[in-house]
Every structure is written in C-alpha cells, then in structure tokens.
C-alpha cells in the first residue's frame, strides 16, 4: 500500500474506530426531572437558539467564500462547513468532557467524565442552566465549538491545503478551544474563579479564534498579490451580503440563547445584539465615507467587530441597550480595526 493511499484512508479508519468504540459505551435511561425542573419555554427557546447558532456556520461560508478569488470559492466555503462534521464527532467523543467534565486543577476537564457523551442524556441539568436538559446544554455549546475554528478561515483562505486545515480543526478544538472554554465557563475553571465573565463567547470563541487567525496570517506571511500591490476582485459580493445577513440573524441565538432560558436577560441580550451590530456597521460606513470610499461589499466586515463586542457584554450591560452603544459598538469596532490592520499587514 502506497503512502498516498494510506494517507487517504486514514481518516476513514479513524472514524470507523470511533464508531466501533462507541458500541461499548453503556446506555442508560434519560434523566427524569419528575416534571419539576424543566421549563418548556426555556427548552423551546434553546432549541431555536441552537439552530440559529448552527446557521452561522453556512453563513460564514458564504461570507468568506464571496471575498476570495473565484477559483477558491468552493475550497474556502468547504473549510468553514467541514468544521460542523469534525467538531461534532470530537465533541461527542471527548470535547464536551474536556470543556465541562470534572475539573482537573481548574485547567481542563476530565476526558473520562463524559467520554462518548456518557452521562449527558441521563445527567442532571447543568448548574448554570437548571431548567433545560443537560443534552440540550451540550448541543448548544457544541455550536459554539463548531463555528470557532471556522472563523479562522478568513486569515488563511487560499493559502492552506484543505487536509492541513482539517488537522488544524482537530488540534485547535482539543488543545486551544477546550482548555479556554473550561477556564472561562466551568464554575471550577481558574479564570471563572478569578471573576472572569464571558456571557456569549467573546473570550472563548472570538479571542481564541482571533489570536489563531493572527498567528496564521503571520506564519503564512504576506500574499504575493499584496506585495506586488495587485488587487484581486472578490468572487461574489452577493455571497458576502447573504453571509452577513445569516451571521446577523444567527447572532440572536448566539447571544440571547446564552441566557440559558427564555427570560428578561435573553430579551435584553437580543436587543443589545442588534443595536451593537448596527452601531458598528454605521461606524464602518461613516469611516469609509470620510475616506471617500464606497460603503458596501466587503466593508461589511464590520459585522465581526460589532458581534464580538456584543458577545462580551450583551448580558451584563446597563438596562437600556442604547446607553451602551459607545462601549459595545464604537469601542469594539476600533479595537477590531487595529487587529485587522495588523493581520492585513501580515498577509
């Protein structure tokens, strides 16, 4: 058997081994709350929020796919979408356990706690989401884990092989995302004990993905077209607009769903999400006007800045979302712009 053949069949063999090992995991009845713990409205809202967050992954594929060269559209879009398959399997096998399993020194979860989702269906609700099943909480968190490596695609688009990127997804999910999620979101995580608050992934999702994207851009160095001052037109601006719309729509579930229930906090986060994105979008548009540039197309990158700001703060800001526009929209957008300038220089 040639090396190339072995390389091609190895992923399939690994998947078969995982499927075979899952047979030996003992199944147990689902947790019975006796009709006292679960809230039907909370369950319904979290199911919708989970689906909304998942919708952001194909939205991200459209967003990035429309901005690359025409010959790289399919490859770029697939890099975003493939995370849904890889991370879902990793999450069931060991990812959820690393994030939310029994804490080992506040650094990482015990991988054996929920190995192959052991005890997830039969377990009591998560302490911070007591009115929904533990399985639903795990699935909602899975959607965060799926989209995080997909955010990095924009920094390495057109410059990295598909197989290399799939390996990155595995390593990033296990070695970067899982520890940071445990530090921040597990009650026994060392950052959580220090008082660090991350309402909807500003640290766990965007900070980790942003640093990974910046590192990738620096390692891969500047593009030849950038060095030669040649501009490659985006393949499909309507794709960018569609992706932006899907991301904005999905972010309502991303942020409002992080309240863990259908309550006033989720409504508050919902409103702040929209207002923060709108404020960031207008700041980008007015910035372009001052620079005598057009105000459409790829400039819709603003959505990333406004979204990150709302992830950090949408559940903890003042009672009137409009009062927080300056901090949640303008400031996050300026911070993002500085990071973007660094990344573009590296590219």
202-237 confidence digits (pLDDT tens): 888 988 888 988 888 888 877 777 777 777 777 788
Question: What is the pLDDT averaged over residues 8-28?
Answer: 76
Among the ranges given (7-11, 64-68, 149-153, 205-209), the one the predictor scored with the smallest mean pLDDT? 7-11
Residue bearing the bigger pLDDT, 170 or 331: 170
Cα–Cα distance between 145 and 54 in angstroms, integer?
10
Q: Which of 87-91, 221-225, 294-298 shows the lowest mean pLDDT across its residues?
A: 294-298
Give the per-residue pLDDT at 306: 45
What is the reported pLDDT for 54?
Answer: 93
Q: How far apart are CA 139 and CA 145, in angstroms?
A: 10
Distance CA 103, CA 98 (A): 9
Q: In the prediction, which pLDDT does 347 show? A: 47
CA distances to 35, 52, 258, 286 from 250, in Å: 31, 5, 13, 25
What does the pLDDT read at residue 327?
A: 37
Band the pLDDT of 198: cuts 50, 70, 90. Answer: confident
304 or 284: which leads in pLDDT: 284
Percent pLDDT > 70 in the chain is 80
Whether the pLDDT of residue 318 is over 50: the answer is: no
pLDDT digit string (tens) for 51-66?
Answer: 999 999 999 999 888 8
User: Could you tell me the CA-to-CA distances from 141 to 7, 64, 69, 218 in Å, in that order?
Assistant: 32, 23, 33, 30
Query: Quick check: 307 pLDDT over 60?
Result: no
* Res 334 pLDDT > 60: no
Give buried/exposed letters for 269-288 (b at 16+ CB in 10 A, else e): bbbbbbbbbebbbbbbbebe
pLDDT tens-place string over residues 99-141: 998 889 889 999 888 888 888 877 788 888 888 888 999 999 9
Confidence of residue 13 (pLDDT cuts 50, 70, 90): confident
Which pLDDT value is given to residue 303?
45
* Residue 169 burial class via C-beta count within 10 angstroms: exposed 0-12, middle 13-18, buried 19 and up: buried
Q: How confident is the model at residue 321 (pLDDT cuts 50, 70, 90)?
A: very low
- With b for 16 or more beta-carbon neighbours within 10 A and e for fewer, the 66-103 pattern comes to bbbeeebbebbbbbbbbbbebbbbbbbbbbbbbbbbeb
pLDDT of residue 294: 58
Q: How long a stretch of residues is the chain?
A: 347
Q: What's the pLDDT at 129?
A: 85
- For residue 330, what pLDDT is reported? 37
Mean residue pLDDT of the chain comes to 79
- Looking at the DSSP bridge assignments, the partners of residue 103 are 109
For residue 24, how many C-alpha atoms fall within 13 Å in the half-sphere facing its CB? Answer: 6
Please count the other Cβ atoms lying within 10 Å of the Cβ belonging to residue 3. Answer: 7
* Domain 37-346 is found in CATH 1.10.10.10: no
Give the lowest-confidence range in 5-19, 59-73, 252-266: 5-19
Q: Which pLDDT value is given to residue 235? A: 78
State the distance between the two ends of the chain, measured CA to CA, in whole angstroms. Answer: 39
Q: Which pLDDT score is estimated for 200?
A: 83
Amino acid 98: pLDDT: 93
* 341, pLDDT greater than 90: no
In the chain, what percentage of residues exceed pLDDT 90? Answer: 21
Q: What is the pLDDT of residue 139?
A: 93
Residue-range domain boundaries for the chain = 37-346
Q: Is the pLDDT of residue 165 over 70?
A: yes
């Amino acid at each position: 058997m040639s090396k190339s053949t072995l390389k091609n069949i190895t992923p399939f063999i690994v998947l078969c081994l995982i499927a075979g090992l899952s047979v030996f995991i003992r199944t147990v009845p689902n947790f019975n709350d006796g009709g006292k713990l679960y809230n039907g409205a909370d369950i319904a809202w979290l199911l919708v929020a989970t689906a909304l967050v998942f919708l952001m992954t194909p939205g991200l594929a459209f967003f990035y796919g429309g901005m690359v060269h025409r010959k790289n559209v399919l490859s770029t879009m697939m890099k975003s979408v493939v995370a849904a398959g890889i991370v879902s399997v990793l999450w069931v096998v060991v990812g959820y356990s690393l994030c939310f399993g029994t804490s080992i020194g506040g650094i990482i979860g015990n991988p054996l706690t929920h190995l192959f989702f052991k005890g997830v269906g039969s377990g009591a609700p998560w302490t911070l989401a007591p009115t929904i099943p533990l399985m639903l909480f795990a699935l909602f968190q899975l959607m965060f884990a799926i989209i995080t490596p997909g955010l990095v695609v924009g920094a390495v688009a057109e410059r990295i092989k598909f197989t290399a990127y799939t390996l990155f997804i595995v390593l990033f999910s296990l070695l970067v995302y899982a520890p940071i999620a445990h530090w921040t979101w597990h009650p026994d995580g060392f950052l959580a004990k220090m008082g660090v608050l991350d309402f909807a992934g500003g640290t766990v999702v965007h900070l980790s993905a942003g640093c990974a994207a910046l590192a990738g851009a620096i390692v891969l160095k500047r593009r030849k077209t950038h060095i030669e001052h040649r501009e490659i037109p985006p393949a499909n601006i309507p794709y960018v607009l569609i992706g932006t719309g899907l991301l904005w729509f999905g972010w309502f579930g991303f942020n409002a769903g992080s309240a863990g229930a259908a309550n006033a906090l989720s409504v508050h986060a919902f409103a702040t999400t929209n207002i923060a994105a709108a404020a960031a979008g207008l700041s980008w548009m007015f910035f372009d006007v001052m620079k005598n540039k057009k105000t459409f197309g790829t400039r819709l990158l603003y959505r990333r800045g406004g979204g990150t700001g709302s992830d950090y703060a949408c559940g903890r800001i003042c009672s009137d979302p409009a009062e927080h526009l300056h901090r949640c929209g303008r400031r996050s957008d300026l911070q993002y712009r500085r990071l973007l300038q660094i990344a573009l220089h590296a590219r």
